[in-house]
Amino acid sequence: NVSGSTNLDDSLNYQSQIQQGLQDAYQNRGNNSSLFANDKRAVEYYNAAYNGAKAAMAAYATATQSKGAGTQDYTYYGNTASKLNDDGSTHTSTNTTDGTPQQYGSTDDVNQGGANNPTDALNSSSKYEATLNGNLNTASNTSVKGNSTSNQISIPTSKTDTIVAARSSYQNDTNLGTAFDNAVNYVLSQYGQQDAETGKWQGVYNASNKSATQDWYLTTNPNSDTTNAYDQAYRGARAAMGQYFDKNNNYLGNGSVKTSSTNNTYYDQGFNDVVSQAAQGIAYVQNGYQFVSVLTGSTNTNGGGNVASGINTIRLANDTDLSGATNNENNPSVYSNSSTLTIDGQNHLMDYHGINYTIYSLKDLYVQNFQTLYGANFYGPYRAGNGSAIHFGSLNYVGPQL
């Protein structure tokens, strides 16, 4: 319960409890207000922040469920009819074993595969491959779900009904209400910069060519809303990513963009988060020319070169098409200045058009999180001694695009 109304701002005395409350909620930890049981006011501030964060998280989850780029289309080959439990006993699976693609998160989704006899193995693997090709190797395959201008992307704000209802408990205490509001805005701003950086709303038009993309959030929300923490953090992060490239998509270097200080708190937060990650070696790309510029130092999608200095991770913030790329006996060489390189699709589509990149001077190459990866061939790592490897994770692969 909340203490009686107060006009005295005592929040400065409880900043640690406020921060712990919103972080416990945002990190999906349980409510730990009991840690402050000897101070009723500390418990109230903790709970105001915790409940504000939880209200924002719930409203966001409801508004964006099954929308945007995500893991909705990842499957596994659920053919194993039985397997051993940890205690050594045999567990009979209830999974479909005829090759129908299984969704991750369903029963027994770990280490599936194989078959009880050769005939079943052939039939089920053929069905699995044919089903994936039918779903993925089509012009209608998109990474961004709910991407229709008639289906507007609506992100919650502090005025969303469920958030307003949750805040009503604090209407008689301005200070607790402020703690609640700040937690709401913190969560929404975190989601805003995260969605910009992952390209949650960026992708191809339905049934279009793979190089025609748009930002579905900005298309359906064209006007900047300075009162909306999500909107401002999203726009700040998007602006920062764009400034690392010139108008011709040449990468300008991971130290080329300075931090933002516009006094727009959430815009600056989103912008500066991208700047901070760039300093750590992360480059965000939004088209094929930007991708190859970071990978090879040139926007020539047919050529080789050197990975941009200081870069160890390339993250796709949009569906990406290497238009003009072709293997045609061309096998461009790429040299890395880092021992590891990660190419993270962040649940997007990418079409390599069959180009073969050979990557040298690298110990480990990680290729991961592609909703669909078309026509990619990777060779290497080489010249790094024993233990070199290519690691693939969470991706759907289809041969060269149509």
Q: What is the pTM of this model?
A: 0.89
pLDDT the model gives residue 98: 79
* Under 8 Å between Cβ of 189 and 178: no
> Rounded to an integer, what distance in angstroms lies between the CA atom of residue 177 and that of residue 169?
8
> Rounded to an integer, what distance in angstroms lies between the CA atom of residue 360 and that of residue 335?
5
pLDDT the model gives residue 266: 97
Structure tokens at 213: 């993309």
Structure tokens at 232: 């401002």
pLDDT the model gives residue 357: 86
> Rounded to an integer, what distance in angstroms lies between the CA atom of residue 38 and that of residue 248?
61
Q: How many CB atoms lie within 10 A of CB 41?
A: 17
pLDDT the model gives residue 119: 85
Sites in the chain below the pLDDT cut of 50: 1, 109, 111, 149-150, 383-384, 401-402
> Rounded to an integer, what distance in angstroms lies between the CA atom of residue 275 and that of residue 241?
8
pLDDT the model gives residue 92: 57
pLDDT the model gives residue 128: 86
Q: What is the CA radius of gyration of the chain?
A: 24
Structure tokens at 167: 């805040």
pLDDT the model gives residue 75: 81
Q: How deeply is 319 buried, as exposed, middle or buried, from its count of CB atoms within 10 A (0-12, 13-18, 19+)?
A: buried
